[in-house]
Amino acid sequence: MRELDYYAYHSRLRRFYPEQKVIFASMLLLTTLMTKSFLLFISVSVLTMYISILKGGMPMKLYLKLLGLPLGFLCISVLTLMVERAASREGLLLALQLQTIIIGISKEGLIKGSQLFLKAIACVNVLYFLCLSTPLNDILHVLQKAKLPQLLIEMMQLIYRFIFILMDMALTTQLAQASRLGYKDLKTGLRSMGQLLSTLLYRALKMNDKVYTALEARGYNGTLRVLSNEQYERLSLIKLVAIEVILIGVAILENLLIR
């Protein structure tokens, strides 16, 4: 978790307008979701990886590691979709017969499955482009400008702040436990984990009291006001539109070629 946030703040793309990045990412997501073109999925993936790694300065190794995160869900769901019951062995690439029941993967299933796989990977790449170039605070500013309810934005800001404090607490405690052999084997490890969770909740509520007192002493009346004086640069609109047009062109081209 640290990684995404850390690299978002240190990205070379951070200095650009967050609104533009959000819009660009949504455009990419939309085109990826709407089409069924293998070429488009691959080009979106390559494009966003290029932007994040070479333009944004994200280490390649770490990026690939991040990309591996959703693979578990993806593989299981895609496999679940591809393996189907069939009436006969005909047309199945891979079949398994259990007495009278035949299950297997058909050619259409395989194409559909791999399409979904690549599509999801492309979308995850786009999501990473946004996560790795725009810190959450910037995204919250965009949401604020989009006129979302004030209460919602404030809640998000508060949770975002608390997450890091609590996370720190949790990780420090876990490190302290580990350095005292608290995780030397499974049984001890699980005991330590239990201690950690209950302490964490207690401390969170305790800290809450202190934060509230501190805020009240400074005249807190229900809203936190934070200055934002970030200076942003503009991305060239022509480039963004050109990328979008090329991508759609790629999708149309593949459609024509297949026909």
Partner 1 sequence: MKNKVNKNLQILSVFCVMSGIATSSYGMHIMEGFLPPLWSLSWSVICIPFFIAGLLSMKKIINEDKKSKLILAMVGAFAFVLSALKVPSVTGSCSHATGVGLGAILFGPMVMAVIGAIVLLFQALLLAHGGITTLGANVFSMAIVGPIAAYGIYKLCRKLKAPQWLAVFMGAMLGDLLTYVTTSIQLSLAFPAEVGGVEASLIKFLGIFALTQLPLAISEGLLTVVVVNSLKKYSEQGLINLGRLSKEGKIC
| Segment 91 to 120, residues that bind partner 1, using CB under 8 A | 106, 108-109, 116, 119-120
Interaction between residue 200 and partner 1 (CB under 8 A)? yes
Could you tell me which of 130, 159, 122 has the C-alpha nearest to residue 35? 122
CB of 67 to partner 1, least distance (A): 9
Burial per residue of 16-27, b for 16 or more beta-carbon CB atoms within 10 angstroms, e otherwise? bbbbbbbebbeb
Q: Write the CA distances from 56 to 12, 60, 64, 176, integer angstroms.
A: 5, 11, 15, 35
CB of 216 to partner 1, least distance (A): 9
* DSSP 8-state code for residue 88: S
> Which residue, 156 or 240, has its beta carbon nearer to partner 1?
156
> Which residue, 207 or 235, has its beta carbon nearer to partner 1?
207
Residues 6+ apart with CB under 8 A from 49: 63, 125
> Which residue, 7 or 16, has its beta carbon nearer to partner 1?
7
Tokens of 219: 């005249």
The region of 145-153, 227-235, 240-248, 249-257 touching partner 1 under the rule CB under 8 A is 145-153
Which of the residues 36 through 95 are near partner 1 (CB under 8 A)?
Answer: 66, 69-70, 72-74, 76-77, 80-81, 83-87
Tell me, what amino acid is at 248? I
Distance between CA atoms of residues 72 and 80, nearest Å = 12
Binding mask 225-254 vs partner 1 (x if CB under 8 A, - otherwise)? ------------------------------
Dmax of the chain from CA atoms?
A: 76
Interaction between residue 131 and partner 1 (CB under 8 A)? yes
CB of 20 to partner 1, least distance (A): 16
> Which residue, 188 or 255, has its beta carbon nearer to partner 1?
188
